[in-house]
Amino acid sequence: MGESLNGLKRTIMCGEIREKHIGDRVVVMGWVQRKRNLGGLVFIDLRDREGILQVVFGEEINKDAFNKADLAKSEYCIAVSGNLVKRESPNPNMPTGMVELKGEEIKILSESETPPIYIKENLDAAESIRLKYRYLDLRRPDMQRIFKIRHKTTKIIRDFMDGEDFLEMETPILTKSTPEGARDYLVPSRNYNGKFYALPQSPQLFKQLLMVSGYDKYFQIAKCFRDEDLRANRQPEFTQVDMEMSFVEENDVIELNERLIKRVFKEMADVEVKLPIERMTWKTAMEKYGSDKPDLRFGMEINDISEEVKASDFKVFKSALEDGGSVRAVKASNSADMPRKKIDKLGEFVKTYKAKGLAWIALKEDGIKSPIAKFLKEEELKAIIDKVQGKTGDLILIVADKNSVVFQALGALRLELAKELEILKDNKEFRFVWITEFPLLSYNEEEGRFQAEHHPFTMPMDEDIQYLESDPGRVRAKAYDIVLNGEELGGGSVRIHDTALQEKMFKVLGFTKESAWERFSFLLEAFKFGPPPHAGLAYGLDRLIMFLAGTENIKDVITFPKNQNAFCPLTEAPNVVDENQLCELGIRFENNKE
Amino acid sequence: MGESLNGLKRTIMCGEIREKHIGDRVVVMGWVQRKRNLGGLVFIDLRDREGILQVVFGEEINKDAFNKADLAKSEYCIAVSGNLVKRESPNPNMPTGMVELKGEEIKILSESETPPIYIKENLDAAESIRLKYRYLDLRRPDMQRIFKIRHKTTKIIRDFMDGEDFLEMETPILTKSTPEGARDYLVPSRNYNGKFYALPQSPQLFKQLLMVSGYDKYFQIAKCFRDEDLRANRQPEFTQVDMEMSFVEENDVIELNERLIKRVFKEMADVEVKLPIERMTWKTAMEKYGSDKPDLRFGMEINDISEEVKASDFKVFKSALEDGGSVRAVKASNSADMPRKKIDKLGEFVKTYKAKGLAWIALKEDGIKSPIAKFLKEEELKAIIDKVQGKTGDLILIVADKNSVVFQALGALRLELAKELEILKDNKEFRFVWITEFPLLSYNEEEGRFQAEHHPFTMPMDEDIQYLESDPGRVRAKAYDIVLNGEELGGGSVRIHDTALQEKMFKVLGFTKESAWERFSFLLEAFKFGPPPHAGLAYGLDRLIMFLAGTENIKDVITFPKNQNAFCPLTEAPNVVDENQLCELGIRFENNKE
C-alpha cells in the first residue's frame, strides 16, 4: 500500500520548525522514528533531513487520522497536515522541542518492514550489515550530517576557486595509464580487442596539458582510481581536489592554498587558522618527529644523542655509529614508573619498524634505572639526560640504528606513546604544517636505481640542480605537502617545464630516451610547444571531510563505499557478466585461475 | 632553454589591460601570437587566457630586451616587464587596442617548435590533427571561450541547486550494471577473477537509493558511460546534471527546473526565458511535428488529411487508411516552383524513414500541378488544400502510411524543408517546450513484448493505471522531457514508490518475480523500507554547453574527447597493457579475434 501525494504539498521541513511557527498550519513529510500509543493519543516522532518533530494524533483531534496513525510503524513514510501548537511537556534538548503538531490528516505514503539496523546516531552495528543496507545506514542522522558537510565543503572550495579565477575542467576517466606507479584499473575496449583504457590515478598529465594549453588556472574535484590492496582508509575510488597554476612558483601555490584552508576551516569548523601556516623542511621533520607528516599537537621530539655516546663501548651504539647510523632518543614525561611489561611491549613495537631493540633510562625518584646503565660511563649517562633535558619522573627511550630505521621507529614510537599516555585526549586543535624540500629521488635498493619520490615531472630546487647527476640522493625537490594533525591532507610540486632538464631527470631515473618517450610521449611532445612554468597541488577530499566530520573511517564519508576486498555488499559489484559481453570484448578467463 | 621566473610575479593578465592602465608598470606572461620586426622595432602580440596585448621592444627602450625579443617565435612562452603607454596607432577592434606595453625586460620561459596547427579562431583543420595535438587546439581562443562557458555554467547550476537546498553527492563509478539497456563498459576485478565492475550509464539507481535514505534533494554533475557505437554527437563518456527530489510531483520538478533554466540562459546567454515554459503532450508533438522533440521555432505543422481523402480510390491513400494508418501533409510556403528534381530528392529522403513515397500538390500561379491529381476527385483536392489552408505559391507534401512511419517521415521532412528553405537562418531564438504524457511502454516487435520507454521505475499516470495489464500501450507515463530548438536537453519522470505497482509493472515488462529481483535486487529490497514519493530529471551537460557556446560538435565542449572509434589520438588510449597485468586479472584473449 502506498498513497499518492495527489497534489498535497509539503510546506516546511520537520527539523526547521521552531516556537515562532506555533499557530501555523503545516504539511510535513518524513519517516516514523518512533510511535507510541499512550491512552488514546498516538505520538509519532517524525524525522526528515532537517530533524525530528513530535506529532500527536487523538480521537478528539481527528478520529480517522488517529486510527490511521496508529497503523504506522517505525520507518513508515508518511505525510501529516495540521496545526502547530505549544508542546505541553517541552523537550529543551530538541531544536523543535517547544512545539508539536496536532495531526488532522495523515497519508501513509509507504510502509516499512522492520529495518535490520537501528536508524539512530552512533550505531554500533557490523560494517558488513551497514554496507549491505547502506540506504538505511545513510538514513541515520550522523551520516546525513556528514554528507551535508561534504556538500558544503565542496561548495566552499568551488566558490573560492571560482573567486580566484580558476576554471573547473573535467578530464577523461577512460584514458591511458598515468605514471603514478600504482596499479591501474583497466577497461577492455570493444573496438580494439586486446587493448585497454585505464582509469586515472589522478588527472596529473591532463592538468599539465591544460597548462600547456594556456588555461592558466585549473581545478577539478576529480574521481581517481587505484587497484591497490586496500588498507583501513583506502578505497578503490576516491576524490581529489586537484589544481594547477601557470606562471607561479612554490610560494604562490602555498599562499593561495593557505587562504583556501583558512576559509574552509573557518566556515566548516569555526576555527581561525593563523596564516602563514608553519613551514618545516623534510629534513627537520624527519629529525625531530621521525615522519614527513609530523603531528605537532604535542612535543616529545626526537633528540640526537650520537655525540653524547660516540665514545661509548656499548656495542649496540657503537656499531650503529660505525655503520653511519645514529643514536636517538625520545623522552616521555612522568613515565619513569611505566611497568616493565609496557616498556617491553614498546620494544616489540619498535621492532615492527625494523629497529633491533629499544633501550631505556628511567629517572625515578629513587635514582636512575636502566638496563644499559652498566654499559655507559656515568658522564655519558649524564650527557644523555642533559641532552634530552631529562628530569625526575621522565622515561628516556633510545634507538640506535641506521638513520632511516631510527627515524621510522622513533617517529612511530612517539605517536604510540602519545596514544598510550592519552596526550591528545580531548584535543580539538587543527595543527597544520607545510613540509617542504622533500628529497627529489629515493634509491630503490631492489631495482638498484633512483626513483622519483613525487613524480618524474617534479622540479629540483635551483641550488641542487648541479648535483642531479653527481649525487642524485642529495637533490631536494620543489615539492610541498600540507599536513594536518599528523596526516597528509594534500601535496604538490612545481613541475619541470624545461625539456633539457626533463631529459636529464629521465636519465637519472634510468629511462632511455626511447623508454621515456614511450611512457610519457604526449606530455613530452606537448612540452615542445612553449610550456609555461607551472605548479599544482591536490588534496584528498575524503580525508579532508573525515577531519571536518570527526570520523576516522573513510567509509563514513563516501555514499556507497566498497569493503576491504573492493566489494560492494549492497550492489554485489563486481559481478559476473553475460557471456556475449565477454565475447564482444574477445575475453576469456584462465582456467587454472580462481 | 627555459628561463625560470626566479621570483618574477605577473601583475595583470594581457587581456585585462585597458586604457585606464596607461602609465602602470606591469609584468605580463603568455604566448607569442605573432612577432614582427619592423625596422628597429620588434612587435609581439602576447596572448594569455584573457586576450592579446601588443608589446613593443626597441633598441632605445632596452637593447638587451630588444635583441632577446627578436629571438622569440610563434608560441614561445615569455614574460615581459615594462610600462603601459598609449598606443600610437590604436586598434579599436581589440579590447586592449588603445594600449601597448614598452618591453624593458623579457624572459624566454620556454621555446616552441612550429605548431602543426594555427592557434587562431575558426580553425579549419582536420579533426584527427586537432585531436592529436589537442593541447594546441585547446589554446585557440574559441576553445578557451567554450571552457569558460562550461565552467561558468556548472558554477551557476551548482549555486542554484545549493540555494534550493539540494545536496551534491557523489555516487560510485565502479559499480554494477544499471538497467538503462545500453552496453556497459566493464572493469575486470583483480580480487574476484572473472567478475567485473560496470561503469555507470547514469546514477539512476543510486539517486533513487539516496531518496530512500532521506536525502530529500540530491544533485550531481556526474560522469556517465556508454559503450555504444558512436554517432556524430556521442562520446563514450559524457556528463549529466542529475537530480532527484522527494515528496514532490511532476509539477514541482518542472517548476524548479524552469527557474534553473531561466537563470542559466539569463546569465550565460542574456536571454529572458518566459515562464512557464510551454507544455505539449507527446501525442500533440507527434501529430503536429512528427517528433517528441519538436523544433517550435517555425510552424509548417503536420495536417491530418485522412478525413478529406477517406473516400478516395487512390490506392496509396486507401490501403494506408485500411491498414489503420493515415494520410498527412505538410505545407511549404512559396515553394510551388520547387524544381521537380528537388521534390524527387525529398521523395528519396522520406524513403529513408520507411515511407513508400511522397505525394505532392503544387499551387502554382497557373493552376494546380500534382502527379496525384488524376487519382483524386476535384472536391477531394479542394478539401486537402482547404485543410492545410493552402494558397497560391504553396507546395503540399503528403505521406500515407501507418502512423509511426507518417510521423517520422513528415517530422524529418519538416526539418529538412526548414534547412532547405533556410527558415532558421540567423534565428537566435531559444525555444523551449516541455513534452509530457509520454507512452509508458512501447511494443518491441522483435522480442514480442512491451518494454519501458523511459525506465522500469517510471510512474504511470494515475488515470491510466487501470489499463496497465489490459491495454499497456495506452498507458501514459509521468515523464517529461525539456526540449530546446528541437533537441532534447533533459528528461525525467516521477518514480514508482509503491511495491505492488512496481511488481505489476515488472509483470507487464515480462519479468518474472525472480528475474526482476535478480536484476534490480537492491533497489527492490530498499523499497521495502518506506520509500518516499520521488521524481527527478537529468540534463545532458555537454549538449547544454553546445547550445550556450553555439557549436554543433560535442567534441568542442569536452577537453580531451575520443574520436568516432572511441579512440584518443592524443594519448593513444585504448592501448596494450603489460602481460603481468592481464595475468593478475586472469584474462586471456581469443586467438581468432582481431
pLDDT, position A39: 82
pLDDT over 90 at A594, yes or no: no
Chain A residues within 8 A of B138 when measuring between CB atoms: 209-210, 213-215
- A567 and B192: CB-CB below 8 Å? yes
pLDDT at B591: 56
Q: Find all residues with CB under 8 Å of B135, minimum gap 6, and list them.
A: A209, A210, A212, A213, A526, A529, B570
Q: What angle do CA A167, A171, A174 make, to 5 degrees?
A: 170
B60 CB neighbour count, 10 Å cutoff: 9
Considering only the beta carbons, identify the residue of A196, A223, A590 that sits closest to B575: A196
A303 with A171, same domain? no
* Residues belonging to chain B: 594
Q: Which residues of chain A are within 8 Å of residue B150 when distances are taken between CB atoms?
A: 169
Using a CB-CB cut-off of 8 Å, the residues of chain A touching B112 are 528-530
Q: Please give the pLDDT value at position B266.
A: 98
> Which CATH number goes with the domain that contains B95?
2.40.50.140
DSSP-derived secondary structure for B297-326? TS----EE-HHHHTT---HHHHHHHHTT-E
As given in the structure block, the three cell numbers for residue B402 are: 501507418
Domain-located, residue A444 = no
What's the mean per-residue pLDDT of chain A? Answer: 94
Determine whether A471 is exposed, middle or buried from the number of CB atoms within 10 Å of its CB (0-12, 13-18, 19+).
exposed
Task: Report the candidate in A190, A209, A202 with the shortest Cα–Cα distance to residue B566.
Answer: A190
Residue A563 touches chain B, beta carbons under 8 Å: no
Nearest to A519 by CA among A44, A133, A234, A178: A178
Show the cell assigned to A266. Answer: 573557518
Shortest CA distance from B139: residue in chain A: A213
Residue B260: count of CB within 10 angstroms of its CB: 21
β-pair partners for B197: B187
* pLDDT tens digits, A170-216: 999 999 976 557 899 999 999 998 999 999 999 999 999 999 999 99
Q: Checking DSSP bridges between strand A186-188 and strand A167-168, what pairing results, if any?
A: unpaired
Chain A residues whose CB is inside 8 A of the B35 CB are none
The answer to whether A574 contacts B167, with C-beta atoms less than 8 Å apart, is no
Q: Which residue of chain A is at minimal alpha-carbon distance from B526?
A: A135
Q: Quick one: B321 and B253 in the same domain?
A: no
How far, in Å, are A169, A574, B188, B194, B198 from residue B191 at the CA level? 33, 9, 9, 9, 15
What would the grid cell of residue A426 be?
580531548
Residue finishing a domain among A421, A440, A469: A421
Alpha-carbon distance A128 to nearest alpha carbon in chain B (angstroms): 15
Residues B102 and B169 reside in one and the same domain? no
- Say whether residue B515 is in contact with chain A using an 8 A CB cutoff: no
Is A258 annotated to bind a ligand? Reply is no
The DSSP call for residue A296 is T
In chain A the first and final C-alpha atoms are separated, in Å, by 46
Q: Which three cell numbers stand for residue B434?
A: 516541455
Q: Which of B213, B219, B478 to mutate to test the interface with A (most CBs of A within 10 A)?
A: B213
Does the annotation place A340 within a ligand binding site?
Answer: no
* DSSP H or E run through B93: none
Q: Is B290 annotated as a binding residue?
A: no
Interface probe for B, chosen from A529, A576, A590 (most Cβ of B below 10 Å), is: A529
Q: Which residue carries 648535483 as its cell?
A: A467
At B201, the amino acid letter reads Q
**Nearest residue, CB atoms, B29 vs list A148, A196, A247:** A247
Q: Is A63 left (phi over 0), alpha (psi -120 to 50) or beta?
A: alpha
- Neighbouring CB atoms inside 10 A of A125's CB total 14
Contacts with B26 from chain A: Cβ below 8 Å: none
Taking phi first (over 0 means left), then psi (-120 to 50 degrees means alpha), and beta for anything else, what does residue A257 get? alpha
* Closest chain B C-alpha to A104 CA, distance in angstroms: 19
CA distance A46 to A33: 6
pLDDT, mean of residues A63-92: 96
The DSSP element (H or E) to which B345 belongs, if any, is: helix B340-351
Mean pLDDT of the region A299-313:
95
pLDDT for B515: 83
Rounded Cα gap, residues B594 and B591, in angstroms: 8
d(CA A516, CA A457): 12
Residues of A in contact with B575 (CB under 8 A): 176-177, 195-196
Nearest Cβ partner for A109 among B176, B194, B533: B533
Residue A444 to chain B, least CA–CA distance (Å): 21
Q: Does a structural domain hold residue A328?
A: yes
3-state secondary structure (DSSP) of residue A369: strand
Same domain, A78 and A149: no
CB atoms near residue A95 (< 10 Å): 16
Q: Which amino acid is at B38?
A: L
**A336 and A393 part of one domain:** yes
Closest by Cα among B484, B571, B567, B543 to B224: B543
Single-letter residue type at A360: W
Helix A403-420 crosses helix A282-289 at what angle (to 10 degrees)?
Answer: 60
* Closest A-chain CA to B525: A133
Counting one residue from chain A and one from chain B, the pairs whose CB atoms sit within 8 A come to: 381
How high is the pLDDT of residue B178?
63
CB neighbours of residue B306 within 10 Å: 18
Say if residue A507 is exposed, middle or buried (CB neighbours under 10 Å; 0-12, 13-18, 19+): middle
Q: How many residues does chain A have?
A: 594
- DSSP-derived letter for residue A244 is E
**A89 touches A100 (CB < 8 A):** no
| In a domain? residue A77 | yes
Name the DSSP letter for residue A243. E
Q: What is the DSSP letter of A356?
A: S
pLDDT tens digits along A333-355: 999 999 999 999 999 999 999 99
Asked whether residue A233 is domain-assigned, the answer is yes
pLDDT at A112 > cutoff 70: yes
Contact A530 B77 (CB under 8 A): yes
Question: What confidence tier does A593 reach under pLDDT thresholds 50, 70, 90?
Answer: very low
Domain that holds residue A173: 132-276+537-589
Query: Closest by alpha carbon to B295, among B379, B411, B128?
Result: B411
Q: B181 CA to chain A: closest CA distance, Å?
A: 13
Asked if residue A242 and residue A174 are part of one domain, the reply reads yes
- From A363, A398, A421, give the residue that closes a domain: A421
User: Based on the domain organization, do A44 and A85 belong to the same domain?
Assistant: yes
Q: What's the CATH code of the domain at A269?
A: 3.30.930.10
Q: Does residue B247 belong to the interface with chain A, where contact is any CB pair within 8 Å?
A: yes
A279 contacts A434 by C-beta, under 8 angstroms: yes
Positive or negative, the Cα torsion across A562, A563, A565, A571?
A: negative
Instruction: Return d(Cα B479, Cα B492) in angstroms, integer.
Output: 6
CA dist B531 and A110 (Å) reads: 6
Determine contact: B526 vs chain A, CB below 8 A. Answer: yes
Say whether both B236 and B303 belong to one domain. no
Q: Is A198 on the interface with B (CB under 8 A)?
A: yes
Among B400, B421, B442, the domain boundary falls at: B421
Tell me: do B245 and B195 sit in the same domain.
yes
B13 within domain boundaries = no
Secondary structure string (H, E, C) spanning A492-552: EEEECCCHHHHHHHHHHCCCCHHHHHHHHHHHHHHCCECCCCEEEEEEEHHHHHHHHHCCC
Q: What is the CATH number of the domain that holds A314?
A: 3.30.1360.30
- Rounded Cα distance between A97 and B343, Å, is 76
Nearest to B497 among A110, A138, A170 (CB): A110
User: For residue A440, which amino acid is it?
Assistant: L
Q: Domain count of chain A? A: 3
Ordered alpha helix ranges (H), A241-360: 250-269, 282-289, 306-309, 315-322, 340-351
Q: Region A232-253: what's the mean pLDDT?
A: 95
| Residue B223 with chain A: CB contacts under 8 Å | 170, 173, 223
| A-chain residue closest to B73, CA distance | A530
Q: Is residue A549 part of a domain?
A: yes
Evaluate whether residue A127 is within a structural domain.
no
Chosen for mutation from A213, A461, A465, A588 (greatest number of chain B CBs closer than 10 Å) is A213
Residues 6+ apart with CB under 8 A from B243: B161, B166, B207, B217, B218, B219, B220, B492, B536, B537, B538
Our CA-based measurement puts residue A437 at a distance from the nearest CA of chain B, in whole angstroms, of 17
Q: Is A225 left (phi over 0), alpha (psi -120 to 50) or beta?
A: beta
List CB contacts (< 8 A) between A1 and chain B.
Answer: 498, 500
**Is B168 labeled as ligand-binding?**
no
How much of chain A exceeds pLDDT 90, in percent? 85
Q: How far apart are CA A385 and CA A379, in angstroms?
A: 10
Q: Mutation test of the interface with chain A: which of B160, B187, B208, B242, choosing the one with the most A Cβ atoms within 10 A? A: B187
- Are the beta carbons of B186 and B238 closer than 8 angstroms? no
Whether residue B570 and residue A236 make contact (CB cut-off 8 A), yes or no, is no
Within 10 A of A447 (CB to CB), how many other CB atoms are there?
9
Instruction: Note whether A142 contacts B: Cβ–Cβ < 8 A.
Output: no
Nearest to B170 among A2, A6, A239 (CB): A239
The 10 Å Cβ neighbour count of residue A189 is 23
Question: A326 and A260 in one domain?
Answer: no
State whether residue B579 sits within 8 Å of chain A by CB: no
Tell whether B112 is within 8 A of chain A (Cβ): yes
For residues B72 and B151, state if they share a domain.
Answer: no
Which H or E element spans position A148?
helix A141-163
Q: Which residues of chain B have pLDDT under 50?
A: 592-594
CA distance B513 to B505: 11
In a domain, B412, yes or no: yes
Which pairing describes strands A487-494 and A479-484: parallel, antiparallel, or unpaired?
antiparallel
**Would you call A275 an interface residue with chain B, using a CB distance cutoff of 8 Å?**
no
For residue A113, give the amino acid letter.
E
Q: From A417, A424, A423, A410, select the one nearest A342 (Cα to Cα).
A: A417
Q: Are residues A551 and A583 in the same domain?
A: yes
Q: Name the closest residue on chain B to residue A144, using Cα atoms.
A: B215
Which cell goes with A233? 582508509
SS (H, E, C) B171-237: CCCCECCCCCCCCCCEEECCCCCCCEEECCCCCHHHHHHHHHCCCCEEEEEEEEECCCCCCCCCCCE
Q: Does A494 touch chain B (CB under 8 A)?
A: no
